[in-house]
Chains A and B, each alone.
Chain A
Amino acid sequence: MADAYLRIENLVKAFSGNVVVKGVDLGFDKGEFVSLLGPSGCGKTTILRMIAGFERPTSGKITVDGRDITHLAPSQRNIGMVFQAYALFPNMNVANNIAFGLKVKGVPAEERNARVTEMLRLIGLTGYEKRFPYELSGGQQQRVALARALAPRPRLLLLDEPLSALDAKIRVSLRGEIRAIQRDLGITTVFVTHDQEEALSISDRIVVMNAGSVEQFGQPFEIYNRPTSKFVATFVGTLNTLTAKIIDSAAGTVSLGGQTITVPALPKGASNGSEVGLTLRPETVRLGPGSGSDLALQGTVASVDFLGSVIRLKLDLGGNSISLDTFNDRRTPPPALGETITVSIAPGDVLILGE
C-alpha cells in the first residue's frame, strides 16, 4: 500500500452536508485493473470523478506515482476517461476524435496521425478514420472513445460504467476487449460498475462499496468466496441464509433441521442455544444425500428456473428456504415442482457473516 501507484487517502466528499464518500483509503498498483463495485449512490462514481478532477474532495488526498494531484485541474492530470454515454464529439470523425487530446497538447500532425493509426489498429477499427460517430454502432463508438482516451498516453485510465449503455452480448465481448487492451498497454485502470458479474470477470481486484465506505477490497475469488460482510456476500452473487441453533459455541457445532454439524467459525461471544444465520452460495448446495460429514436436508421444490447451462431450484425446507444451482445435464431432467428431494451441504462451504 505504501508504494501504491494510485493512492487515495482519507478521501471525503460531502454535497451540501450530505456525506457521500466517508473517509476512503485505497491503494492501487501500477498496471492493475481495479473495479469500484456497489449499488447506485454508494459513492463509487464520486470517487472516480474526484480522481478525474471533476469533483473537488471535501478533504483527503489523491496521489499518482507519488505526485499529489488533489488540487490539479482535470486538464492537467494526464488521465484518460471513458464515459457511459460515449461522449464522442459529434462534429468530428473518428480520426479527429482520437487525435483531439494530441491536438490540444500541440503534438505535430505527423506524430498525431501515426498515433491515430496505431490506436485504430489497437481497437480493430482500421479504415474507419473518416466515419462520423453517428455512423458507428454503440460498441464501435465506445471503442473509439477508449482509443481517444488512450491516445495521449495517460498515466491512468478511468472507465465510468462504459458498458451500461450497450446490449448484453456486446457488453460481454467489449469487456473482454477492454481487458485485453489494458493488459497489452499495462495501464493502471479504475473501472466503475454496478454489475457484479462484470466486476468479477474483468478485474485484478475489486473494491466493494456501500453507503460511501469501502466494504471489502480484494481479488474477485476472495470477494466471492470469503466475503467479510453480509453486504458483500449478498451484493456479489446470490446467497442463502438458514437459521440454525448453536449447540456448542466453543466446538462450533450447530443444529439445523434436527442434524448437528460443525461449521468453520462462529461469531465470538455467541451463547449456546441462541440462533445464528448460516449463509451459503447456491452452487455449494448439491443434489443428492452427499457423503461423510455432509449435511443432508429434505425439502420440496418451490420453483425451477431453467437458465440454459445452469438450473436454479428453490427448495422449501420447512421454515427455511434455499436456492441451489446445478449444471444442466441432458440425461437427467430437473426435479419437478412440488417434488420432495434431498440436498447436501459440505460444512466447509458454510459462511457465518456479521452484519
Chain B
Amino acid sequence: MTRSPTAIMASTFRLTLGLAVALLVVDALFRLLTSNLDAIPGQLSALLWDIAYVGIAAVALSILSPLLTAAWQALQPTAQSLWAAPLPIRRGFSRIPWPWVVFLIGAAYFIIPLAATVDFSLKIRRGTYSLDAYTSVFSDPRFQATFTYSLLVGLATIVVGILIVVPAAYIVRLRLPGLRPFIEFVTLLPLIIPAIVLVFGYIRLFNTSSVLPLTGSAIGTNLLLILAYVALALPYMYRAVDTGLRTIDVGTLTEAATILGANQFTILARVIFPNIIVAVLSGAFLSLAIVIGEFTIASLLNRPAFGPYMQNIGANRAYEPAALSIISFVFTWLAMGMIQLLARFAPKTSARTD
C-alpha cells in the first residue's frame, strides 16, 4: 500500500480542491444572499481573494501531503501495538501497562476539570461543603423558565426533525440511492457553517422588512429558533436515522407491506418508523443535548433560552455557574445514557435458516 509521492500529491490536490469548491459555492451563495445590491462588486472582489487563499492552501497541503502520509504511516504501528494483546513476557520499560497509562491520562483530562467544578460548586460557604449553590439555582424562577423553554424548543425540534428526516432518509434509501453522497454532504453542512453565520443569515433573510418577517413576532422568532435547531441537529439526526434504516431490509419490508395493500404513509408509520424508533430516539436525545445548552442562536434571536441564561449567570455570579454546568452536564449524560438503554429495546431481526 505504498504510493508514489506524486500520486499522493495529486489525490490530495483533487480532494482539497473538491472541498474548496464546495466551500466557495457556499461562501458565494451566502455573500450574495446577505449583501445589498451596491455592495456586490466589493463582495465579488472578496470572493476572488477567497478563491486565491483556498487555491494556495490546496497547493500547500498537496506539497506537504507525502510528508504527512509518511508521518502517519510511521505512527501506525505504534497506534496498533497500543491496543494489541499484551505480550507474554515483559521486562523493564515494557512492564508498564501502556494502554492503561494512556487511558488514565485521557480520563484525567476530562475528569480533573469536572471534579474541580463539582468541588468549587459546593464551596459557596467558607470552610464547609454545602448544596446552597444548587438550591439557589433551582429556586431561581429564571432557571425554571429558561430550562422549560429550552426543553419545549428541544421537543419541538425533535418532532420537526423527525418529520423531515425520517421520510427523507427513507426515500433516499429506497428510491434515490444515487443521491446518498449528496444528501450526506448536505446534512454535514451545519457542522461546516458556524451557528453565528447561520443566525446572521436568518436575521437578514427573515427580518421585519423581508417577505417573511419571522423575527417580527415572538411566535415567528420561536419558529425560526426551532428551524435553526433542526438544521443544527441535522447531522446527528440524519446519521442516526440512516443507521437505523441500515439495520432493516427497507426495500423488502416496503414491498411486503405494499403488496398487502398498504399505502406509503401506512408503511412509514406502521412498518418503517416502529422498527427504527430506537435509532430515531438516539438522534432525538442527541438533538436535545445540543439544544438545551445552545447559546449563539438563542442569544442573537433574543430568546429566553437556557444557554443565554447560563451565560448571564456566569457573568454575574461565582458559584452558581459551576452548579449550573454540573446540572447541564448531568442532563446531557442522562440523555446519552438513555440512548444506551434504548438500544436494548430495538426490534430484533433474525435470518435463521432452520
Binding site for B on A (CB under 8 A): 52-54, 73-81, 83, 85-91, 100-101, 104-105, 132-134, 136-139, 141, 145, 148-149, 152, 165-167, 170
Q: Which residues of A contact B263 (CB under 8 A)?
A: 75, 104
11 sample A-B contacts, Cβ–Cβ < 8 Å, listed by A number? A54-B258, A75-B263, A78-B261, A83-B252, A85-B252, A87-B255, A88-B256, A89-B270, A90-B349, A138-B354, A141-B350
Given contacts A90-B275, A91-B275, contact A152 B260 (CB under 8 A): yes
As a 0/1 sequence over residues 242 to 283 of chain B, the CB contacts with chain A under 8 angstroms (1 = contact) are 000000110011011111111100100011001100000000
> Which residues of chain B have C-beta atoms less than 8 A from A79's C-beta?
259
Q: List B contacts of A52 (CB < 8 A).
A: 255, 259
Report whether A80 and B353 are in contact in the complex, using a CB–CB cutoff of 8 Å.
no
Indicate if the CB atoms of A133 and B350 lie closer than 8 Å. Answer: yes
From A106, which residue of chain B is reached at the shortest CB distance?
Answer: B261
Q: Are B256 and A87 in contact (CB under 8 A)?
A: yes
Are B354 and A134 in contact, with the CB atoms below 8 A? Answer: no
- A134 contacts B259, C-beta separation under 8 Å: no
| Cα of A52 to Cα of B256 in the assembled complex, Å | 10
Chain A residues in 8 Å Cβ range of B271:
89, 91
B259 touches A91 (CB 8 A): no
Given contacts A75-B258, A101-B261, contact A134 B350 (CB under 8 A): yes
- In the complex, what's the smallest C-beta–C-beta distance from A188 to chain B, in angstroms? 15
Find out whether the CB atom of B354 lies under 8 angstroms from the CB atom of A137.
yes
The CA-CA distance from A138 to B262 in the complex, in Å, is: 25
Q: Given B253, B255, B261, B353, which contacts A54 in the complex, CB threshold below 8 Å?
A: B255
Q: Does A87 lie within 8 Å of B253, measured CB to CB?
A: yes
Contacts of B353 on A, CB cut-off 8 Å?
138, 165-167, 170
Contact between A170 and B354, CB atoms less than 8 A apart: yes
Known A-B contacts: A78-B261, A132-B348, A139-B354. Give 20 more (CB < 8 A). Answer: A75-B258, A79-B259, A85-B252, A87-B253, A89-B256, A89-B257, A90-B248, A91-B271, A100-B257, A100-B260, A101-B261, A104-B262, A104-B266, A134-B347, A136-B352, A137-B352, A141-B352, A152-B260, A152-B261, A170-B354
Give the docked Cα–Cα distance between A139 and B261 (Å). Answer: 25
Q: Residue of A at shortest CB range from B274? A: A91
- B: which residues have CB within 8 A of A? 248-249, 252-253, 255-263, 266, 270-271, 274-275, 347-354
Question: In the complex, what distance in Å separates the CA atom of A141 from the CA atom of B257?
Answer: 16
Q: Which residue from chain B places its CB closest to the CB of A100 in the assembled complex?
A: B260
Which residues of chain A have C-beta atoms less than 8 A from B349's C-beta?
90, 133-134
The smallest beta-carbon distance between A173 and chain B, in angstroms, is 11
Task: Kindly state the separation between the CA atoms of A239 and B352 in the bound complex, as whole angstroms.
Answer: 35
Q: Say how far B54's CB is from chain A's closest CB, in angstroms.
A: 38
Partner of A134, one of B252, B257, B260, B348: B348
From residue B204, how far is it (CB to closest CB) to chain A in Å?
Answer: 45
By beta carbon, the residue of chain A nearest B346 is A90
Q: What is the bound-complex CA distance between A170 and B253, given in angstroms?
A: 24
Residue in A closest to B276 when the chains form the complex, CB atoms: A91
Min distance, Cβ A308 to any Cβ of chain B, angstroms: 22
Interchain CA distance A304-B249 in the complex, whole Å:
45
A141→B354 CA distance, assembly (Å): 10
Q: Is the CB of A138 within 8 A of B352?
A: yes
Smallest CB–CB gap between B189 and chain A, Å? 32
Q: In the complex, A240→B266 CA distance in Å?
A: 55
Shortest 7 CB-CB contacts between residues of A and residues of B: A101-B260, A134-B348, A91-B274, A138-B352, A90-B347, A87-B256, A134-B350
Chain A nearest CB from B277 CB (Å) reads 8
Docked complex Cα distance between A16 and B349 (Å): 34
Which of A81, A89, A152 gathers most chain B CB within 10 Å? Answer: A89
User: In the complex, which residues of chain A have a beta carbon less than 8 angstroms from the beta carbon of B261?
Assistant: 75-76, 78, 101, 104-105, 152
Contacts of A88 in B (CB 8 A): 256
B154 vs chain A, min Cβ distance (A): 26
A79–B248 Cα gap in the complex (Å)? Answer: 24
Taken together as a complex, chains A and B put the C-alpha atoms of A132 and B262 apart, in Å, by 21
Enumerate chain A residues within 8 angstroms of B352, measured Cβ to Cβ.
Answer: 136-138, 141
The chain B residue with its CB closest to the CB of A73 is B258
Quote the shortest CB–CB distance from A348 to chain B (angstroms): 43
Task: Please give the distance in Å from B286's CB to the nearest CB on chain A.
Answer: 23
Q: Give A95 Cβ to nearest chain B Cβ, in Å.
A: 15
Kindly state the separation between the CA atoms of A116 and B271 in the bound complex, as whole angstroms: 19
Contact in complex: A85, B258 (CB < 8 Å): no
Residues of A within 8 A of B350 (CB): 133-134, 136, 141
